[in-house]
Amino acid sequence: MSTQYDAIVVGAGHNGLTCACYLADAGLKVLVLERYHDIGGMTLTEELTLPGFRSDVHASGYQLANLSPVPRELELEKHGLEIIEPDIVYAHAFPDGRVLAVSRDLDRTVENIGRYSKKDAETWRTLFERYLAEKDGIVASLFSAPPQFSAEAAAHERTPSGMDEYRFGLQSMRSWCDQTFESEEVKCLFGAFALFMAHAPDDAGGAELAWLFGTVLQDVGNNLVKGGMHNVSLALASYLRSKGGEIRTNAGVEKILVSSGRATGVRLENGEEISAKEIVASGVDPGQLTLRFLGEEVVGSEIAGKMERYEWGDPAFVIYAALDGPVEYKAGQDAGSACHVHLTPPSLDPMSKASAECRGGELPATPLIVSWNDSVIDPSRAPEGKHLKKFVVLGVPYEIRGDATGRISGRTWDEARDEYADYLIDMIAANYIPDLKAKLLKSEAHSPLDIERKLPSAVRGTICHGAMLPYQTGSMRPIPEMGHYRSPVANVYLCGSGSHPGPGVSMAPGRNAAQAICSDLNLGFSALAAT
Ligand SMILES: Cc1cc2nc3c(=O)[nH]c(=O)nc-3n(C[C@H](O)[C@H](O)[C@H](O)COP(=O)(O)OP(=O)(O)OC[C@H]3O[C@@H](n4cnc5c(N)ncnc54)[C@H](O)[C@@H]3O)c2cc1C
């Protein structure tokens, strides 16, 4: 007789796995179904270039995860999770060889900023102190369901500082940077983080994201997972199996089966049907859940229409490089030993121009490039004496209609991918890492199309399961009707980063969703979290 499952979780990304762990802990018989041949979603680590060179395919930085209660609650260290904490958290390198580095030591960060502006250095100290004063509330808000919109608005209205917070929540990154810092280099250093969340410098809502990212990394670091980010998901999977949970890979879900307004199970892409007695939770992007797994016939035309208008944000382009030895940045050791380095000209204007080019369908000439020094921090990623790097290019078009580089002839990604990668490698070598090409053994580029082909949850090659715009965050993420991990079908839940608090390896949406499910099923989540 086939196994009877209480809960099916669709998608073995780290959030789906997190949700599954808590459900198994609460006593449910859980099955996780994953379409790819391996678990992890955007936490994969693979040999993409040459044997022995283990690249983090998507996420590298263990950032928001440093604030997460999940590793402690699920004792992930006992399941193989090991974190490496570099001293230089991140840096911003400029083409003229200057650098601005952020250290775990606040005084050193302030000193580095002071070389560009004494005023900005003190401003950063003040901003960081403000974060520390608010930290407990920030962490609590990330790791719990978002408040109702009306409650949030009323809280803002109660005090004058509440209205300032509301304003800050809507402010663009460029507006905030211009009003807060005097040095263009300092604006670039912190402002770049808005682009991590698919924001252009002038998009509403980028200011708070940039401030939050910058302060969190100052506080808890930008760490790497020893052996690769995949080990986060492998640790979660190990915990899940220890609680009797099961995982099947190569098991893409086609439909959630709904009868009399309740989910009864799922149908796989190969036609197999698997039943679930209590709930189905989805860690895939909210578009696929709403429009494919449930479909307009179940969710209704209004919700289907809202999901069709959901905004995914600007796609990414990634280059993985296997290197014959260490490389040297023109900017020197502060860049070379940082966990990651932003590479841009020293002004927000080129960042804005690149975003405008991207949104106009052009391949940007000077996009923000995030250069990861993975094997410098974690030598286990490459064979002895060798190195690897990853360059994440934030903000490229999904459909190519033009070319701001003047070098690319292809107008589909399959034609343009390698030409654009060559352009970027030339540009990085000319401006930031002079010996990059001499050390390059092999590179592989992933266009937005490749990223989406590998993981359909990276819709249009984006990294966030939906842009973090003010109207797609909090209780409005992904849409107001589905803003609390619940869907139009009573026992179907959302547990991926298309729900609050959004993208990043945080394990937060998975844990928050499990809380909602346990509450609906009268299971003891709080007892577990208290241990
Ligand atoms: C290039 C890149 C760089 C990034 N860098 C960082 C970083 O440095 N630090 C950081 O914190 N975050 C980073 N992120 C973001 C972070 O990786 C993601 O926000 C997070 O991992 C998403 O986790 P998730 O579990 O919500 O979703 P996903 O990881 O997308 O998991 C969804 C899973 O569902 C599966 N799936 C899809 N369709 C189906 C189906 N029909 N049936 C069954 N399964 C299905 C997918 O294969 C996938 O495994 C990066 C992302 C990218 C793409």
Determine the residue of 230, 457, 506 to mutate for testing ligand 1's pocket, defined as the one with the most ligand atoms within 8 A of the Cβ atom.
457
CA 457–ligand 1 middle distance (angstroms):
7
Q: What's the CA-to-centroid distance between 13 and ligand 1, angstroms?
A: 6
pLDDT digits (tens, 9 = 90+) for 270-298: 999 999 999 999 999 999 999 999 999 99
Query: What pLDDT shows up at residue 159?
Result: 87
Look at residue 2 and tell me whether its pLDDT is greater than 80. no
Q: Concatenate the DSSP letters of all residues of 153-200 into one string.
A: HHHHHHSHHHHHHHHHHH--HHHHHHHH-S-HHHHHHHHHHHHHTT--
Ligand 1 pocket test, pick from 44, 57, 58 with the greatest ligand atom count within 8 Å of Cβ, gives 58
d(CA 298, CA 244): 32
Judge if the beta carbon of residue 283 lies within 6 A of ligand 1.
yes
> 507 CB less than 6 Å from ligand 1?
no
**Pocket of ligand 1 contains residue 504 by CB under 6 Å:** yes
Angle between helix 160-170 and helix 206-220 axes, rounded to 10 deg: 100
Over residues 123-128, the mean pLDDT reads: 97
Per-residue model confidence as pLDDT tens digits over 421-467: 999 999 999 999 999 999 999 999 999 999 999 999 999 999 999 99
* SS3 state of residue 306: helix
Kindly tell me if the per-residue pLDDT of 1 is higher than 70: no
Residue nearest to atom 18 of ligand 1 (CA): 504
Q: Does ligand 1 have an atom closer than 6 angstroms to the CB of 284?
A: yes
- Percent above pLDDT 90 for the chain: 96
Query: How much of the chain is in helix, strand and coil states, percent to nearest 5?
Result: 45, 20, 35
Q: Can you give the C-alpha Rg of the chain in angstroms?
A: 22
Q: Is there an atom of ligand 1 within 6 Å of 16 CB?
A: yes
Q: Which atom of ligand 1 is nearest to the CA of 502?
A: 19
Q: Ligand 1 centre and the CA of 59: distance in Å?
A: 8
Q: Is the CB of 496 under 6 A from ligand 1?
A: yes
Q: Is the CB of 21 under 6 A from ligand 1?
A: no
Q: Distance, CA 220 to ligand 1 centroid (Å)? A: 22
User: How far apart, in Å, are the Cα atoms of 241 and each of 21, 152, 236, 467?
Assistant: 9, 39, 9, 33
**Whether the predicted pLDDT of 307 surpasses 90:** yes
* Atom 7 of ligand 1, residue of closest alpha carbon: 59
Report, as an integer, the average pLDDT of 156-165. Answer: 90
CA–CA dist 204, 173 (Å, integer): 8
**What's the 60 CA to ligand 1 centre distance in angstroms?**
12
Tokens of 26: 């609460």
Query: 41 CB less than 6 Å from ligand 1?
Result: yes
396 lines ligand 1 (CB under 6 A): no
Please indicate whether residue 222, judged by its CB atom, sits closer than 6 Å to ligand 1. no
Atom of ligand 1 nearest to the CA of 464: 19
CA 529 to ligand 1 centroid distance, Å: 24
Is the CB–ligand 1 distance for residue 30 below 6 Å?
no
Q: How confident is the model over 516-530, as a mean pLDDT?
A: 80
Q: Tell me which residue has its CA closest to atom 4 in ligand 1.
A: 59
Q: Rounded to an integer, what distance in angstroms lies between the CA atom of residue 517 and that of residue 510?
A: 11
| CB of residue 224 inside a 6 A radius of ligand 1 | no
14 lines ligand 1 (CB under 6 A): yes
Q: Which long-range contacts (CB under 8 A, 24 or more apart) does 268-275 make?
A: 268/33, 269/35, 274/5, 274/8, 274/31, 274/33, 275/4, 275/5
pLDDT of residue 528: 57
63 CA from centroid of ligand 1 (Å): 15
Q: Is the pLDDT of residue 527 over 60?
A: no
- At 160 the pLDDT is 83
Cα separations (Å) of 430 from 96, 190, 213, 330? 10, 24, 29, 10
CA of 44 relative to ligand 1 center, distance in Å: 9
pTM of the model: 0.97
Provide the percentage of residues in the chain whose pLDDT is more than 70. Answer: 99
Average pLDDT for the chain: 96
The pLDDT of residue 524 is above 90: no
* Ligand 1 pocket member 60 (CB < 6 A): yes
Digit-coded pLDDT (tens) for 251-273: 999 999 999 999 999 999 999 99
Q: What is the 163 CA–ligand 1 centroid distance (Å)?
A: 34
Ligand 1 atom showing the smallest separation from residue 12 Cα: 49
For residue range 21-39, what is the model confidence (pLDDT) as tens digits?
999 999 999 999 999 999 9
CA of 188 to the centre of ligand 1 (A): 27
* pLDDT computed for residue 530 by the predictor: 54
pLDDT for residue 82 is more than 60: yes
Q: What is the pLDDT of residues 366-422, one digit of tens each?
A: 999 999 999 999 999 999 999 999 999 999 999 999 999 999 999 999 999 999 999
Q: Which two tokens stand for residue 282?
A: 């989805």
Q: Which of 14, 19, 42 to mutate to test the pocket of ligand 1 (most atoms within 8 A of CB)?
A: 42
pLDDT at 492 over 60: yes
Per-residue pLDDT at 525: 78
* Average pLDDT of the residues in 198-204: 94
- Look at residue 211 and tell me whether its pLDDT is greater than 60: yes
Of all atoms in ligand 1, which is nearest to the CA of residue 392?
1
